[in-house]
Structure 1
Amino acid sequence: MREADQGRAVRPSTRTVAQFLTEWFVAVEASMDATTWQNWKDYAKSYVVPHIGAEKLQRLDEPQLLRLYAKLLTEGRIKKDRNFAMYRYWLTHKVDAAPPGPRDVSNACGTTIHAARAAVRRYQAGIVPQRVDPGLAPKTVRNIHAMIHRALVDAVAWKYTANNPASNVRPPKRSRARRTVWNRDDIQKFLRASSRDRFAALFLLELTTGIRRGQICGLRWYDVDLDAREITVHDNRVVIGGHARDKAGGKTQNADQTIAIDRTTSAALEKWRELQNEEREFFGTDYHPGNYVFTFQDGRPPHPDSIRQRFDRLAAAAGLERITFHDLRHSYATAALKAGVSPKIVSERIGHADVGFFLQTYAHVLKNDDSEAAEQAAAFLFGDGFGSSIAPD
């Protein structure tokens, strides 16, 4: 009666979790970032609705959410591990140094010929895939929890349910596994191997700035000042539902900024712009508008996924350890720290919103310099010959 007097009474309802989520995604689409909205919708469709979608919304409780998270952590992955299956077939059918071709691998493992070709190139380059865990990563489950919590906050506000069980549930701990990065020799080897690729300047810019993939694909020439050797990172080219879209603004507040580029990168961009201007003149009015820095011959900007796939092929051809395109960002940050650049400067350059999180992420790199820091500080304090004056007889 008190809740009714205060306008907080919740009427009994048979509305299911799936029905509520369908209504909720329509209602919040205009108020959410498009990438987040699409990711959360995919989470709901793939991981939430199949497990608890038929449950009545008002009966959803904490134990059900905990069981959902536990199941997703152990067996939640939907995509089958095709890569490891292809490698196992390719390895077991090698005869006298004549392994099966992409068509054989494709037919045996039920994959596309394109996936099989890329896989065979990796295996021939000595890149051995690791078996993928059947469960989801803790970070993914944490993202799913964030989506459920936000949705249930609105469910309570809309008086669809009396409480939010996600508020009383702790999501899985975030894993702190180190990202695989390339060292200086690896980076130089990749840059030499990709020097004749059309997007060589793109990879060079990525490895000397560490900006995000969407930012480098969405970079426009009016945001590049080669005379001052600066770029302004603002526009993003993101993937939503498999399609590339332009999006104004970076991922975080610090992502929108002007950063300096080195002389080598600036010279590479100048040479690339000359080639692009020749292509623009050749295509004339058929040249794609947009003024993107990195384009195909007719001015069309690349799909971010195509850049990732191109990077994978070039890295495999160079015989380098396989890392993701996003790991180039970590490779740059690690190299900059080892070169002695201030952690605060590196954090600002790559657009981290929280310097404290940056220090946690790269603590292993900074720890490696601890011994050198001790010696440098002592040398400054004591100078030469001080140690002998206090040494015991």
Structure 2
Amino acid sequence: MVSIQSTLPQQHHPDIAIPMRVTILETRPNTWRLRIETPGENGKRTFSYRTIKGTREDAEYERLTLLREARAKDRVTEPKRLVRGTSTVTVGEYLKRWIEMRRHRGEIADTTAEWYGFVTNYVLPAIGDKPLRSITAADIQALYDDLLTRLSPRTVRHIHARLKPAFEDALIEGLISSNPFNGKRVRPPRADETKIETLSQADIGRLVMCVDQKHPTVAPIIRFAVATGLRRGEICALRWEDIEFHRDASNRLIGGVVHVRRNAVQTGNEVQVKRPKTKSSVRTVALPPSVAHELADMRNKVVEKLNADEPGKVEACYVFPASHGGIRVPSALTHQVNRAMADCGLERFTLHDLRHAHATFLLSRRMPVKAVSQRLGHADITVTLRTYAHVIPQDDAALAALTEDLLPRAGGSLLDMSDDEDDDEDL
């Protein structure tokens, strides 16, 4: 059963201290400076410094001592810790508790919550039953090699970014005697820089015709996703109050816009309706007339079904609800759309590829990158360029032709002008 909550972005609990951070800096040979960052008043952080003379190991020992002392003070406000002997604590037991504590402290942002699910889904089945103290760098590297047979390098790097601090905290807690991630013994894969394979215009046409026949309940969602480029969570959280229809003077429907105000975030079996992913994700997206007409027909059916005279009852309903009328679970939507695409001969593509197809089509038609970036809700234009630079037409010959206007058209060639300048210098 999936529980649904509607909340604002999670804040730090007032009774839970933000963890201390200690950084080691080498000031000169055999002299180390500890930069100690601790919570201050009103959420501000304070800094202090300590000098350690000796080896790097001496400085590391002092750093761990400070962190253990700070962590001991916070134990009364954190979830119950593992009480079994440290030699018998498994990786699965520790990681589940570690994720729970991070969530309790408010350290897991909405934008990264999904990646902690990858740790649960892929790491625990592989090494979850092994004792935490027995894990070596070779075990972690073997795990990554195995995951790369099923996951992209980018996904494995995200898993690495969660495992590394987890083992760092285990070292601080004294649950392990050494951190397998220290000394660069574990090397995550390089980021996947392969170009995104997108659906062509012909693929989209074939998909739309196919789902109308084989999957009529999913067809409106697919058309909407292609036409707007909205993210999965944004589609699931959309209510009728977010759809604005535009009509001309004769009350004829001519289009509309979607106001993206919410995002459905799924963590395990829990779905929370929160603010969109970034500040730029709060946006207004124009609708093509055909999609506006389809949405208007869908809304009329909702009105008839509810027999609602009060507009508020309809406006609060989800545009693409689950069968029970509530919010559609994001993972369920992905499964339904992916299955429909596979039935239409496009099994190598997913729901998110509809967003890629939307962006690729606009950019390949030379639409302004900034306008496309705003429509997609990217944090800034660099995200759009980094993701879709390969689909933006590069016409260097046309650029060269434009520069012709920079050159003088009278008085001879550039070579002649260059010779004249040289003669002037000789004079």
TM range (shorter): 0.5 to 0.7
Q: Matched residue of 2:307: which SS?
A: helix
Higher RCO (C-alpha under 8 Å, 6+ residues apart)? 1
Question: Structure 1 residue 137 and structure 2 residue 208: aligned?
Answer: no
Q: In structure 1, what is the equivalent of residue 245 of structure 2? A: 226
Aligned 1:75-86 pairs, distance under 5 A? 75-76=146-147
Q: Deviations over 1:284-335 (max 9, x none)?
A: 9xx9995101135663443334433433344344444641111111111111
Change (3 A) 1:6 1:150: closer
Q: In structure 2, what is the equivalent of residue 97 of structure 1? A: none
Question: Structure 1 residue 174 and structure 2 residue 191: aligned?
Answer: yes
Contact 1:201/1:272, CA 8 A, preserved across alignment: no
Q: In structure 1, what is the equivalent of residue 374 of structure 2? A: 348
Deviation at 1:194, TM superposition (A): 3.1
Larger radius of gyration: 2
Q: Could you list the runs of 5+ residues in structure 2 that have no partner in the other structure?
A: 1-57, 70-84, 247-254, 416-427
Deviation at 1:280, TM superposition (A): 2.4
Q: In structure 1, what is the equivalent of residue 398 of structure 2? A: 375
Q: Deviations over 1:168-203 (max 9, x none)?
A: 434211122233211112212222333462343321
Change (3 A) 1:350 1:379: same
Change (3 A) 1:267 1:5: closer
Q: Could you list the runs of 5+ residues in structure 1 that have no partner in the other structure?
A: 78-132
Q: Deviations over 1:211-241 (max 9, x none)?
A: 1112111211122222382222232334433
* Residue identity in the other structure for 2:262: D
Contact 2:132/2:175, CA 8 A, preserved across alignment: no
Aligned 1:276-295 pairs, distance under 5 A? 276-281=302-307, 291-295=317-321
TM-score normalised according to structure 2 size: 0.62
Change (3 A) 1:288 1:220: closer
Q: In structure 1, what is the equivalent of residue 263 of structure 2? A: 236
* Residue identity in the other structure for 1:187: I
Question: Structure 1 residue 204 and structure 2 residue 227: aligned?
Answer: no
* Residue identity in the other structure for 1:236: N
Q: In structure 2, what is the equivalent of residue 331 of structure 1? A: 357
TM-score normalised according to structure 1 size: 0.67
Change (3 A) 1:244 1:269: farther
* Residue identity in the other structure for 1:222: E
Change (3 A) 1:278 1:199: farther
* Residue identity in the other structure for 1:40: V
Percent identical residues: 26
Q: Matched residue of 1:226: which SS?
A: strand
Change (3 A) 1:380 1:231: farther
Q: Matched residue of 2:235: which SS?
A: helix
Contact 2:265/2:274, CA 8 A, preserved across alignment: no
Q: In structure 2, what is the equivalent of residue 265 of structure 1? A: 291
Change (3 A) 1:6 1:277: closer
Q: Distance in 2 between matches of 1:252 and 1:15?
A: 42
Contact 1:288/1:298, CA 8 A, preserved across alignment: no
Question: Structure 1 residue 28 and structure 2 residue 43: aligned?
Answer: no
Q: In structure 1, what is the equivalent of residue 166 of structure 2? A: 151
Query: Comparing both structures, which one devotes a greater share of its residues to helix?
Result: 1
Q: Distance in 2 between matches of 1:157 and 1:10?
A: 6
Q: Matched residue of 2:181: which SS?
A: helix
Deviation at 1:365, TM superposition (A): 0.9
Say what the alpha-carbon RMSD is for the aligned residues.
4.1
Contact 2:321/2:328, CA 8 A, preserved across alignment: yes
Q: In structure 2, what is the equivalent of residue 215 of structure 1? A: 234
Deviation at 1:278, TM superposition (A): 2.0
Change (3 A) 1:262 1:155: same
Change (3 A) 1:14 1:240: same
Change (3 A) 1:44 1:156: same
Contact 1:25/1:41, CA 8 A, preserved across alignment: no
Give the length in aligned residue pairs: 320
Question: Structure 1 residue 184 and structure 2 residue 201: aligned?
Answer: yes
Q: Distance in 2 between matches of 1:172 and 1:36?
A: 16
Q: Distance in 2 between matches of 1:235 and 1:346?
A: 20
Q: In structure 2, what is the equivalent of residue 107 of structure 1? A: none
Q: Deviations over 1:11-39 (max 9, x none)?
A: 99657463543432332222224544444
Question: Structure 1 residue 71 and structure 2 residue 142: aligned?
Answer: yes
Deviation at 1:380, TM superposition (A): 7.1
Change (3 A) 1:29 1:44: farther
Q: Distance in 1 between matches of 2:277 and 2:334?
A: 19
Q: Distance in 1 between matches of 2:63 and 2:226?
A: 62
Question: Structure 1 residue 54 and structure 2 residue 131: aligned?
Answer: yes
Query: Comparing both structures, which one devotes a greater share of its residues to strand?
Result: 2
